[in-house]
Amino acid sequence: MKKTKLLALSFQKVEEFVALLGWKPYRAKQILSWIYERHAACFEEMTDLSKADRLLLDARAELRHLEVITRLRSVDGTEKFLFGLEDGRQIESVLIPDEERLTLCISSQAGCTLDCTFCLTAQEGLKRNLKSDEIINQVLTIQGLLPVGKRVTNIVLMGMGEPLANLPQVTEAIIKMISPIGLGLSPRRVTISTAGLVPQILALWQGPVPVNLSISLNATTNALRDQIMPKVNRLYPLEKLMSACRSFPLPARRRITFEYVLFSGINDSLEDAGRLVQLTKGIRCKINLIPYNPYPGSPYRRTPDDQMILFQNFLLKARLITTIRKSRGGDILAACGQLSSLSHDQSCASTN
């Protein structure tokens, strides 16, 4: 008999599975608590179930964390994990400690459907969408490897892939992140980052998971965005994207984050900053400037720090909330735009 994958089931389906075994409903809560609160990686760990019940579960169901192929640690404490999936595909997640926060950046696709020219993942093309259990299992596996008392505090879907191109599976995984019987994270601590798929942005806003939204903008004219993010900008050019952002009534106290990766001599002039102010007028938003992290063979260079500060000051003077993201994990190719299952050999080489 084929075993039931518990991580692939909704909470309600776990209850139905428990009922099929002839057990009382409270058993579902017990099992879910072991999986999501105590990060059990197998039924043997569920010590408040009898030995016979654990054996029955083991015969009928499957509970497994992802296979860790490599785990690389940056000098700044950032860690990059390469996971092997059942079909042999590989995906990456990045764990970023920052004072009290422990942010986990996870993948939503193996490869990516889009072709952003600054991104290493794009070079792989799309292999396939991840299933909801493969998305949530990145969190469970890494949480299970952390020392007792340490917890992932924030999750960003900003790893490999375009999360909104896999919205049904991403939504299922997020429900498990924010539900009190799942990981119990506040929706404010979960962020989806998109290249700008307009219909899916609207679907997300109208859907059941009120998480933060980050939009990767990176250019202030269609001509330049066509070069930097060709596929998405041809589908949804800037006017469509910004008009969707402008028209949607954001929930109270929420802001859209616009991510803007700075490329030296390409999109980092004060004219670009001026256009950015105009583009975002009327949208409750903040700007996150991201220093570019080149990978070997990358066509772009990083903007010098003094130019970044000038760019930031221009936006601040225009009363735009603007931060510069700390660049983390660059020495292990774990920084933004550097994720790829192809990159681990290069990462190992670069840290040697």
**Residue 23 or residue 292: which is nearer to ligand SF4 going by CB?**
292
Shortest distance, CB of residue 293 to ligand SF4, whole angstroms? 12
35 binds ligand SF4 (CB under 6 A): no
Number of residues in contact with ligand SF4 under rule CB under 6 A: 11
Catalytic residue among 15, 79, 92, 162: 92
122 binds ligand SF4 (CB under 6 A): yes
Catalytic: 116?
no
Catalytic: 336?
yes
Select the residue interacting with ligand SF4 from 14, 96, 104, 114 (CB under 6 A).
114
92 binds ligand SF4 (CB under 6 A): no
| Cβ pair 215, 194 in contact under 8 A | yes
Select the residue interacting with ligand SF4 from 112, 167, 242, 290 (CB under 6 A).
112
**Residue 7 or residue 164: which is nearer to ligand SF4 going by CB?**
164
333 binds ligand SF4 (CB under 6 A): no
Region 133-172 residues binding ligand SF4, contact defined as CB under 6 A? 160-162
Pairing of strands 256-262, 285-291: parallel
**Residue 165 or residue 174: which is nearer to ligand SF4 going by CB?**
165
**Residue 122 or residue 256: which is nearer to ligand SF4 going by CB?**
122
28 binds ligand SF4 (CB under 6 A): no
**Binding mask of the shown chain, residues 189 to 228, with x at each position contacting ligand SF4 by CB under 6 A:** ------x---------------------------------
**Residue 185 or residue 229: which is nearer to ligand SF4 going by CB?**
229
Shortest distance, CB of residue 167 to ligand SF4, whole angstroms? 14
121 binds ligand SF4 (CB under 6 A): yes
How far is the C-alpha of 121 from the C-alpha of 305, rounded, in Å? 26
Residues with active-site annotation: 92, 336
- Kindly list the residues in this chain that would bind ligand SF4 in the complex (CB under 6 A): 112, 114, 116, 119, 121-122, 160-162, 195, 337
